[in-house]
Structure 1
Amino acid sequence: MLSHHELATLMLLGDTDKRLEAFDPDVLTLHHYELVEIRQRDPQGSTLRLTRQGRELLERLRMGAGG
């Protein structure tokens, strides 16, 4: 089960590439559960992207919230 911090990070990522710290514990957990893909782009940081599973989970959460 994901923590509220991990769920918030998942929602923050949405459907677009964002720059967040790849070594953040919440990001690492999402990566472990194959919800986020970590893509190294340059020395300044990583680009994170939701996987198919991550997008599906986010959509289910939105539908469950009435959205």
Structure 2
Amino acid sequence: MLSHHELATLMLLGDTDKRLETIDPDVLALRRYELVEIRQRDPQGSTLQLTRQGRALLERLRMGAGG
């Protein structure tokens, strides 16, 4: 089960690709659950994106909140 911090991070990443620290505990947990992945590493940091599983979970959460 995801914590509220992990859910918030998942939602943040779902809105757009964000540069977050890959060592952030919430990001590490989402990577462990295979909900996000590193897309690109560069000197400014890493770009994370949702995996197919992450997008599906986020869609289910949004559908549940809407009705």
TM-score in same-fold range (> 0.5): yes
Unaligned runs of 5+ in 2: none
Seq. identity, %: 90
- SS of the residue 1:22 aligns to: coil
Of Structure 1 and Structure 2, which has the larger fraction of its residues in helix?
A: 2
- SS of the residue 1:27 aligns to: helix
Unaligned runs of 5+ in 1: none
Compare 12-21 and 46-55 and name the one that shifted more. 12-21
| Cα deviation, residue 40, structure 1 | 3.4
Distance 1:16 1:24 in 2: 18
C-alpha distance after superposition, 1:8-60 (max 9, x if no partner):
00000015321011100000000000000013321220000000000000000
Give the alignment's TM-score, normalised by structure 2.
0.92
| Cα deviation, residue 64, structure 1 | 0.5
| Cα deviation, residue 61, structure 1 | 0.2
1:50 aligns with 50
Distance 1:2 1:29 in 2: 8
Q: Which runs of 4+ in 1 moved over 6 A?
A: none
When the two chains are superposed, the root-mean-square deviation of aligned CA atoms in Å is 1.3
Is structure 2 residue 23 aligned with structure 1 residue 27?
no
Give the alignment's TM-score, normalised by structure 1.
0.92
